Amino acid sequence: MAIQTNLLSTGSIHSYIRIVMAEELTIPEGVSKEEIYKALYPQILALVEGETDGIANIANIIAALKESFRWWWVGVYFVKSNELVLGPFQGPVACTRIAKGKGVCGTSWDRAQTIIVDDVDTFPGHIACSSASRSEIVLPIVKNNEVVAVLDVDSEYLAHFDGTDQLYLEKITDLIGKMNWL
Ligand code: SME
């Protein structure tokens, strides 16, 4: 505060040093979601470069996705003691534990497959952590041929996710699975 006052009083406002975090994202506006994913991926690589802590890296990846796409909810569940346990997320508070084969997340884990649900009301056993959620995509995160976590994205709009989301989100789940973070 003292430094800022001094700069202002001497008229040296242009020499004021603004500290910008290296982690600030550049998100293109007015472009397709494919263009946003393409712009985001190298920034995600830069975000995690040199950091080995899995929670820190996954938390930042989730925040980057939320900031880029403004989805209702995005986060991960980790496989722990044969159930899914909530990990880093952005959005409203969520269910903490999900059994294998239950809901979209538990089904994605059980089948080791990405699942896109256009209308959550039509998915048998869908777990409604939030009544505002209308559509969903869940992707398994695979490490050494085993599902170790899932990435879950929820939207308040019907049929919000498609093959483009699957293609680019799978690049991110592949990255997480290949790293030695988990
Ligand atoms: N809807 C998910 C539960 C997780 S929350 O949406 C965050 C499911 O059916 O597995």
CATH at 153: 3.30.450.40
Average the pLDDT over each of 57-66, 122-131, 136-145 and give the range with the smallest value: 122-131
- Note whether residue 17 is domain-resident: no
- Note whether residue 13 is domain-resident: no
- Note whether residue 91 is domain-resident: yes
Q: What string of H, E and C letters represents the secondary structure of 9-59?
A: HCCCHHHCCCCCCCCCCCCCCCCCHHHHHHHHHHHHHHHHCCCCCHHHHHH
What are the tokens at 97?
């534990």
Mean predicted confidence (pLDDT) in 8-16: 49
Please tell me the total count of domains within the chain. Answer: 1
- Note whether residue 3 is domain-resident: no
Ligand 1 centre from 32 Cα, in Å? 26
- Whether residue 108 contacts residue 85, with contact meaning beta carbons closer than 8 Å, is answered with no
- Note whether residue 82 is domain-resident: yes
| pLDDT for residue 8 | 44
- Note whether residue 49 is domain-resident: yes
- Note whether residue 80 is domain-resident: yes
Rounded Cα distance, 33 and 39, in Å? 10
Mean predicted confidence (pLDDT) in 141-149: 97
Strands 135-143 and 73-80 come out as: unpaired
| pLDDT for residue 5 | 39
Nearest CA to ligand 1 atom 1: 127
Question: What residues line ligand 1, using a CB cutoff of 6 Å?
Answer: 73, 94-95, 98, 103-106, 126-127, 129, 133, 136, 152, 154
Ligand 1 centre from 104 Cα, in Å? 6
- When pLDDT is cut at 50, 70 and 90, the band that residue 64 belongs to is very high
- When pLDDT is cut at 50, 70 and 90, the band that residue 40 belongs to is very high
Instruction: Provide the residue range defining the domain that includes 160.
Output: 27-178
Ligand 1 centre from 159 Cα, in Å? 16
Q: What string of H, E and C letters represents the secondary structure of 142-171?
A: EECCEEEEEEEEEECCCCCCCHHHHHHHHH
User: Which residue of 78, 116, 122, 136 sits with most ligand 1 atoms within 8 Å of its CB, as the best mutation to test the pocket?
Assistant: 136
- Note whether residue 51 is domain-resident: yes
